[in-house]
Chain A
């Protein structure tokens, strides 16, 4: 299958500091959920930030549907179809749920089209409709994460990148987050997920990617990655995945 996004041997870091990513690669397949795992400091979040233009790529290429994205600003990369939700969810706490959703479609010039998209999202996520006029900062962590993920769908992106969406959430809520990701992929949106909980992340994904020390160690079907003895030993504490 043709790759939607191809990341080839990229090197990137923060400011003039040392390289966090040092030769990482990634092949993103359309319509699948990809889970990136790895120990702390492996460069998982850095990889997403480099793809979305928040960090300068020092070497290597990021290519979306044949177009090189190196050097573009985050807003330009968003317009190309890649949406990023960072760990802190990037909500506007003093804006209402509806206003946050409207901000999700900021790049859509047409106000009527934006209103239609916002209403469609509110229909799909009843919890957000119930709280449409509530300030985002006053909602629970799970509701905020739902809003952050739902907001990405306003512009119907090709790829949604999520940096640790389960962070700080109760297990039941985390499962709801994975259900939303599954729904996204069923609708043709490709999901690229960074997850600290390797077992849960891989079980809910189609493709697994293991990063270590800024490099791609393993890339393949999530079930194969899960069964890999190195992963069992390194990230799952030697436990067999159920």
Chain B
């Protein structure tokens, strides 16, 4: 029983971070229908911001989180203006954005590799290797803190989307872009803001990831499959769905890792993506795809 609770706690603690990693991807897809394959590479960019701030100046990665988020949000604005704005009215928008984000992922990986090499890195504040003990059960402080911070950020995002004027505009644009425009929403501005928030969330997730996982530029290929499975299970564009899916898959992966084998833990996400696409492509909270 103790082992069951232990594994459950580890799964839940990682679920929060994975939810934050996926929420930006989900938001960007929801508003702009961009499947941002470069999202994990931008998370890794955020992780490097936190890593170097810690290594050079000893700044705690959680303290560095808002800075990483702002830097990445700024990069998001530039990327949107340069890469996606012109494509917004293209008849081949969906295909083009997949190709563009794939190219972007390769470019970001190449740039990060050129500057920082492919050496595995991990930020190591004291709490990253410490734990709380409750009898036989331990809770790693790093994962716990990262999970709590992730949930606070996702909660703040949910409140922003629910109650702010821009949040209304983002939700409306997600659900019916033409209708939002007819009611006076500047959908171009909403797209820029949502993209910046989405990429800013990647930066924030990167700061937390930097002390939870080891990372290097090519790690993105492992994470894109993990994040796609989370976003697809939740329902593309649904942030609530992303959170539920992240916790579910993280817990399942933790049990698989313990009882079946560590290699199979990552496979849980890949297998889930495959199965979901076969039996319920709209995911838990998404809309059914239209028939051709």
Q: Do A and B bind each other?
A: yes
| Residue of A92, A99, A106 touching B184 (CB-CB under 8 A) | A106
| Residue of B165, B169, B179, B184 touching A90 (CB-CB under 8 A) | B179
- The reply to whether the CB of B178 lies closer than 8 angstroms to some CB of chain A is yes
Interface string of A94-109 (1 = CB under 8 A from B): 1100010011101100
Q: Assuming the A-B contacts A92-B176, A95-B175, are A86 and B168 also in contact, with contact meaning beta carbons closer than 8 angstroms in the complex?
A: no
- The reply to whether the CB of B186 lies closer than 8 angstroms to some CB of chain A is yes
| Residue of A79, A103, A107 touching B168 (CB-CB under 8 A) | A103
- Majority secondary structure, B binding face: helix
Query: How many A-B contacts if CB must be within 8 Å?
Result: 58
The answer to whether B176 touches A78, judged by C-beta atoms less than 8 angstroms apart, is: no
The answer to whether A90 touches B182, judged by C-beta atoms less than 8 angstroms apart, is: yes
The answer to whether A90 touches B171, judged by C-beta atoms less than 8 angstroms apart, is: no
A52 to B182, CA, bound (A): 8
The answer to whether A84 touches B182, judged by C-beta atoms less than 8 angstroms apart, is: yes
A residues near B168, Cβ cutoff 8 Å? 99, 102-103, 106
The answer to whether A75 touches B172, judged by C-beta atoms less than 8 angstroms apart, is: no
- The reply to whether the CB of B185 lies closer than 8 angstroms to some CB of chain A is yes
Interface size on B, residues (CB 8 A): 16
A140 to B93, CA, bound (A): 33
B287 CB to closest chain A CB (Å) equals 9
Interface size on A, residues (CB 8 A): 22
Which residues from 180 to 217 on chain B have a C-beta closer than 8 Å to any C-beta of chain A? Answer: 180-186
B27 CB to closest chain A CB (Å) equals 15
- What are 25 A-B contacts defined by CB distance under 8 Å? A54-B182, A75-B181, A75-B182, A78-B182, A84-B182, A86-B178, A86-B182, A90-B182, A91-B179, A92-B172, A92-B179, A92-B180, A93-B175, A93-B176, A94-B171, A94-B175, A95-B171, A95-B175, A103-B168, A103-B180, A104-B183, A106-B169, A107-B183, A107-B184, A111-B165
For the complex of A and B, the 8 pairs showing the least CB-CB separation, nearest first, are A90-B179, A107-B184, A75-B184, A92-B175, A78-B184, A106-B184, A74-B181, A106-B183
| A-to-B contact residues, CB < 8 Å | 52, 54, 73-75, 78-79, 84, 86, 90-95, 99, 102-104, 106-107, 111
